[in-house]
Amino acid sequence: MFGRYCGFVTRITTPLDAFMSDMLVWLDGAWYLWVALGIVVLVVVVSVVVAKMRSRGYERVPHYFRQNS
């Protein structure tokens, strides 16, 4: 868009750009962080599924409560 006016487009670098590039380099090196995040997500999903299955099984079994008469 601005290429025909100044010949080439210069990218203005801001401190945010430097921060973002540093962050991307750090995330590339922090593979263990991604592994830990994956493990946490897996544990949460498994616990939710197990809790739902247990509650569903609990509802399926008839429960007899002692009535005070």
| Max mean pLDDT range (52-56, 59-63, 65-69) | 52-56
Higher pLDDT, 62 or 2: 62
Residue 68: inside a domain: no
* pLDDT value at residue 38: 96
Q: Residue 50 half-sphere exposure, CB side, CA atoms within 13 Å?
A: 6
Q: The domain containing residue 49 runs over which residues?
A: 31-61
Residue 56 lies in a domain: yes
Residue 26 has what pLDDT?
82
pTM listed for this prediction: 0.46
Q: Tell me: the pLDDT tens digits for 9-60?
A: 566 777 888 888 888 888 777 888 889 999 999 999 999 999 998 888 767 7
CA distances from 18 to 28, 48, 49, 59 (A): 15, 40, 42, 56
Give the count of domains, the chain.
1
